[in-house]
Amino acid sequence: MTSTRYDGDTWDVASSVGATATMAAAARAIATRADRRLIDDPFAEPLVRAVGVDLLTQVAAGEVPPDDLVEQIFIDVAKIRTKFYDEFFVDATNAGIRQAVILASGLDSRAYRLPWPTGTVVYELDQPRVVEFKTRTLAELGAAPTADRRVAAVDLRDDWPTALRTAGFDPARPTAWSAEGLLGYLPPDAQDRLLDVITELSSPGSRLATESRPNPRPGDEDKTKARLNRISERWRAQNFDPDMARLRYYGERNEAAPYLTGLGWALTEITVRDLLAANDLPPLTDDDIRMGDLLYVTGTLDKE
């Protein structure tokens, strides 16, 4: 089985990689109802509803028992992941950073719900139809950003730095960057370029948060595809066809964590396994796709 991806492919929030943004928001909606101790995203459910895929709306609204379509582990990961990135931005602003860049922002609502200090500028980058959908929908819902939110509607395989600068980004100011749920959807060379450019655009004191997946051992990727196919089949049986196994890029790539270290970032890393434990969530069982080994990474850059 090969990827359905190609250079220059595009999508909205209901198709191809864009649907993963809606699925992530659906997981946040379920997680928010289940566990406000860890996550409180009041915009997740209305955003999913506005996308208009009936099945995802029902899942997000809790009308379909999650276990039928979304395994509990994906909801637990939505909890720890949201909390991890929320805390990253809160820590960065507590340290005085007033410029944030959310790469592949999808239906993430941090620019509308985090307590950004006055004067903070938050840039959100994603494909044009994704960015436009969220901006319009949240305005229609009467939501107002809690920061000076600016968007760059751009493909992250293209010249996104120009779009970011055009939106007002100032590379002379320290920046807090996030790339959440993105890297596996980029070809390996685009991932390297993205991390290179983030580094080039980062003045001393900048911070970064992302995920780093260990390179696959023999057989790992077949297991991942099989698991994603089983999940997609359950969705397809209910008339929604995300074909998740074919949205990612496979094969060896530079692992993000050591690559960033090589670029000069001082990293702190924690596995999903340890994050689940640290948040009193159940451990992974039967982890055939090595989800527990995924690293959540934060870094600071103290270059001269």
Under the rule (CB under 6 A), what is the footprint of ligand SAM?
Answer: 17-18, 20-21, 24, 104-108, 126-127, 130, 155-157, 180-182, 185-186
Judged by beta carbon, residue 42 or residue 264, the one nearer ligand SAM is: 42
Going from the C-alpha of 264 to that of each of 85, 283, 300, the distances in angstroms are 21, 33, 9
Burial class (CB in 10 A: 0-12, 13-18, 19+), 188: middle
Distance CA 137, CA 88 (A): 26
**Least distance CB 51 / ligand SAM (angstroms):** 12
Judged by beta carbon, residue 29 or residue 257, the one nearer ligand SAM is: 29
Q: What is the DSSP string of 130-170?
A: HHHHHHHHHHHTT---SSEEEEEE--TTS-HHHHHHHTT--
Judged by beta carbon, residue 104 or residue 143, the one nearer ligand SAM is: 104
**Least distance CB 110 / ligand SAM (angstroms):** 9
C-beta of residue 259 within 8 angstroms of C-beta of residue 186: no
**Least distance CB 36 / ligand SAM (angstroms):** 18
Q: What is the DSSP string of 236-284?
A: HTTT----GGGTS--S----HHHHHHHTTEEEEEEEHHHHHHHTTPPPP
Closest residue to ligand SAM: CB criterion: 106
**Whose structure tokens read 């002379």?**
172
Q: Which of 275, 43, 303, 295 lies closest to 175 in space, CA to CA?
A: 303
**Least distance CB 220 / ligand SAM (angstroms):** 20
**Least distance CB 297 / ligand SAM (angstroms):** 15
Distance CA 103, CA 123 (A): 8
Judged by beta carbon, residue 155 or residue 192, the one nearer ligand SAM is: 155
Judged by beta carbon, residue 97 or residue 151, the one nearer ligand SAM is: 151
**Least distance CB 298 / ligand SAM (angstroms):** 16
**Least distance CB 218 / ligand SAM (angstroms):** 26
Judged by beta carbon, residue 111 or residue 284, the one nearer ligand SAM is: 111
Torsion, Cα 157 266 301 167, to 10 degrees, reads 30
Judged by beta carbon, residue 205 or residue 241, the one nearer ligand SAM is: 241
Judged by beta carbon, residue 45 or residue 180, the one nearer ligand SAM is: 180
**Least distance CB 303 / ligand SAM (angstroms):** 26
Q: What is the DSSP string of 47-60?
A: HHHHHT-HHHHHHH
